[in-house]
Amino acid sequence: MCLWIEDDGPGLPEELSVELPVRGQRADSATPGHGIGLAMVADLVAAYGGSLEAGRGNLGGARIEVRLPA
């Protein structure tokens, strides 16, 4: 199964695409938060044997793709 979420915002810098799902790391430090959301998703996806990738979407912004085995 593949699920992706994307937006039309400024996107993610290439160097953050690899490091983003790390607890405490935020792509946008101008907004409030603790940087654990994607890290929690990455942990859950890994627990089910899946993968998580971040990159640029078709709308020009960020795209987060989750793949889970059948």
Contacts of 20 (CB under 8 A, 6+ apart): 12, 27, 38, 54
Looking at residue 15, its pLDDT comes to: 65
Looking at residue 44, its pLDDT comes to: 92
Q: Evaluate if residue 6 carries a pLDDT over 90.
A: yes
The CATH number of 2-67 is: 3.30.565.10
State pLDDT tens for residues 17-42: 555 566 666 666 676 776 678 888 88
Structural domain spans, the chain: 2-67
State pLDDT tens for residues 37-58: 888 888 999 999 999 888 888 9
Strands of the sheet with 2-6, listed across from one edge: 2-6, 62-67, 51-56
